Amino acid sequence: MHFIDPVPLPHDGPSDIAVWRIDIDFAESLNAPAFASLSDEELTRARHFRRHEDALRFATVRAALREQLARGLGIAAHAVRFAADANHRPHLAESDRFDFNVSHAGEHGLIAISPMRRVGVDIEQHSDTFDWHSIATLTLDPKEAVWIEGLDAARQTAAFYDAWVAKEALVKTTGAGITRGLQHLTVLPRESMRVTLRNQIPDDMREVDARWLAAPDGYAACVAWSATAFWR
């Protein structure tokens, strides 16, 4: 792999938001030309991961992000500079032309970029051995947990991950997120690709919208954004 080829993902959100899926090649080396744009700090960070798969996820998505931002900024990918805000949310260090967000899990990653509004993405891989009940109180509204329990066993895991990615994407969009926890966002039952916030909506979520994305088999994915364009 001498380059990373992001796959554009369609969505029915604002046209200024671009979303790509990144496919990870775990046979690759961190010394590959595809990662030449990474900074020394990024390469060091990648090499500190204990598992090669985790290193490749981080390096592949970061290199792809650099390429996409570089195209928009009109500079070389290695010249893109990053910083982090008080909530550790990454942003461009020397420009406010784009907001972006990334996520990765399993063999795939997601990138969302917008020149006009804040964005958030999340992708998760379903696990057959994961018991969603073990973290239900931390992630689900009680009514969501009851709704999932009413599904057949084969659909329960997928429904849980739908809720998880939607809430993570929404929180990542706000930057600070909500202080009370994911269980105070209610997005189930799911009725379409649009994420509908149900019950009482927290103040920091009133101007945020989201859509579930078409994801590879065994994955769930979502993109979220600030409803009001204010970034530029």
- pTM for the model stands at 0.94
CA 211/CA 170 separation, integer angstroms? 10
> What does 41-74 look like in DSSP terms, one character per residue?
HHHHHHHT-SSHHHHHHHHHHHHHHHHHHHHHHT
CA distances from 194 to 71, 214, 215 (A): 30, 12, 15
Structural domains of the chain, ranges and CATH numbers in brackets:
24-115 (3.90.470.20), 122-226 (3.90.470.20)
Q: What is the pLDDT along the chain (232 residues), one digit of tens a residue?
A: 456 899 999 999 999 999 999 999 999 999 999 999 999 999 999 999 999 999 999 999 999 999 999 999 999 999 999 999 888 889 999 888 999 999 999 999 999 999 999 999 999 999 988 999 999 999 999 999 999 999 998 899 999 999 999 999 999 998 776 666 788 899 999 999 999 999 888 777 889 999 999 999 999 999 999 988 775 5
The single-letter DSSP state of residue 171 is: H
The angle that helices 40-47 and 52-73 make with each other, rounded to 10 degrees, is 160
